[in-house]
């Protein structure tokens, strides 16, 4: 049951339900014809390679028989495919934060927007020179920079490659260890992630770059007692969840007004804001809750399952 608009008190553990958000209107259409859910901190804990709860899994299976179901995530295919199989996705999914679109029904990648390799090389060298921790999402694998000191950085900048980066031996099980790539050269990069930085610092660096097709934006926030830092994504300008939503709208021939989207993080804001049924998780950042039609319970209490139950399964039964 969706609580009435005047019921805005905090959800209690005995009665986990959807509550109306700032965009809710009493007479709005609440019947979704397509589902897109974020993954980290929405479907599973952040960076987990585990499976969703049995309740979430069952809800996806049932919903997928009625409407196209997909995920919208910054994850690359290797950290997405096991979820796609487990959840039996039947629609389009947004990967690499919008740089890729995967068709779950056909099992094919139907759109890709990789970055230019020279652009990635230039920006990575600038990040190295400024001592910025970063990794490059390249061909489904995260290549993380390993600092080697000022002299080594200068030598790397003059070399053909980018110097020492490290990749996981097993993408789904980093505990198996890492492989050093001594003179890394990108192959098929989609995102550069500048980690734990002041956002303006990275945005200014990208703004002055000669490649006008790239952009930088805040994806995740790290809160500390004396302020916040951010993970900043550097991508193709069209590699975002908003552009991917518009692509899926055309591919599926379903209007955005009938999309159910669910998310929690900064990079989910456009996902929630542009869809007719944008749902913020209870654990979502405030900017996402401010543009939501509904607010669901948090990850711990299967908020994504409750949203799909209310807005898909009960509406199409």
Domain definitions of the chain by residue range: 19-113+239-316, 133-236
Give pLDDT, residue 175.
Answer: 82
One DSSP character per residue, the chain reads -PPPTT--SPP-TT----EE-TT--TTS----SEEEE--BTTTBSTT--SPPPHHHHHHHHHHHTTS-EEEB-S--GGGTHHHHHHHT--SEEEEGGGTEEEETTTTEEEEE-PPPHHHHHHHHHHHHHTT--EEEEETTEEEEE----HHHHHHHHHSSS---EEEESSTT-GGG-EEEETT---SSEEEEEEEEE-HHHHHHHHHTSS-TTEEEEEEEEEEETTEEEEEEEEEETT-SHHHHHHHHHHHHT--GGGEEEEE-SGGGHHHHHHSTEEEE-TTS-HHHHTT-SEE---GGGTHHHHHHIIIIIHHH-
Give pLDDT, residue 9.
Answer: 45
Average pLDDT over residues 238-252: 94
pLDDT, tens only, 18-36: 999 999 987 677 789 999 9
The three-state (H, E, C) secondary structure of 279-310, written as one string: EECCCCCHHHHCCCCEECCCHHHCHHHHHHHH
Other CB atoms within a 10 A radius of the CB of residue 6 amount to 7
Collect all residues with Cβ–Cβ distance below 8 Å to 253 and sequence separation of at least 6.
none
Give pLDDT, residue 197.
Answer: 81
pLDDT, tens only, 114-168: 999 999 999 999 999 888 999 999 988 999 998 876 545 544 544 578 999 999 9
pLDDT, tens only, 26-63: 767 778 999 999 999 999 999 898 999 999 999 999 99
- The top-level CATH class assigned to 19-113+239-316 is alpha beta
Q: CA-to-CA distance for 22 and 16, rounded, in angstroms?
A: 19
Other CB atoms within a 10 A radius of the CB of residue 8 amount to 11
Q: What is the dihedral of CA 57, 58, 61, 64, to 10 degrees?
A: -90
């Amino acid at each position: 049951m969706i609580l009435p608009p005047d019921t805005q008190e905090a959800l209690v553990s005995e009665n986990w339900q959807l509550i109306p958000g700032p965009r809710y209107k009493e007479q709005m259409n609440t019947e979704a014809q397509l589902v897109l859910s974020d993954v980290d901190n929405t479907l599973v804990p952040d960076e987990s390679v585990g499976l969703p709860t049995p309740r979430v899994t069952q809800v996806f299976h049932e919903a997928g028989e009625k409407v196209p179901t997909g995920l919208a995530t910054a994850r690359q295919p290797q950290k997405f495919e096991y979820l796609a199989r487990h959840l039996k996705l039947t629609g389009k999914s947004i990967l690499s934060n919008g740089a890729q679109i995967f068709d779950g029904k056909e099992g094919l990648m139907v759109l890709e927007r990789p970055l230019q390799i020279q652009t990635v090389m230039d920006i990575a060298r600038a990040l190295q020179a400024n001592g910025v921790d970063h990794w490059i999402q390249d061909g489904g694998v995260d290549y993380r920079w390993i600092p080697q000191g000022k002299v080594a950085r200068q030598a790397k900048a003059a070399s053909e490659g980018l110097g020492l980066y490290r990749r996981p031996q097993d993408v789904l099980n980093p505990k198996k260890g890492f492989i050093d790539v001594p003179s890394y050269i990108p192959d098929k990069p989609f995102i550069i992630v500048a980690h734990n930085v002041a956002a303006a610092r990275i945005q200014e660096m990208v703004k002055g770059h000669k490649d006008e097709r790239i952009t930088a934006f805040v994806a995740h926030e790290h809160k500390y007692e004396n302020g916040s830092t951010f993970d900043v994504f550097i991508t193709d300008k069209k590699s975002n969840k908003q552009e991917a939503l518009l692509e899926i709208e055309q591919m599926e021939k379903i209007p955005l007004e009938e999309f159910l989207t669910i998310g929690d993080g900064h990079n989910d804001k456009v996902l929630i804001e542009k869809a007719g049924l944008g749902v913020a998780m209870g654990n979502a950042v405030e900017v996402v809750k401010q543009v939501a039609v509904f607010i669901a319970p948090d990850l711990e209490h299967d908020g994504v399952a409750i949203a799909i139950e209310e807005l898909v399964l009960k509406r199409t039964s």
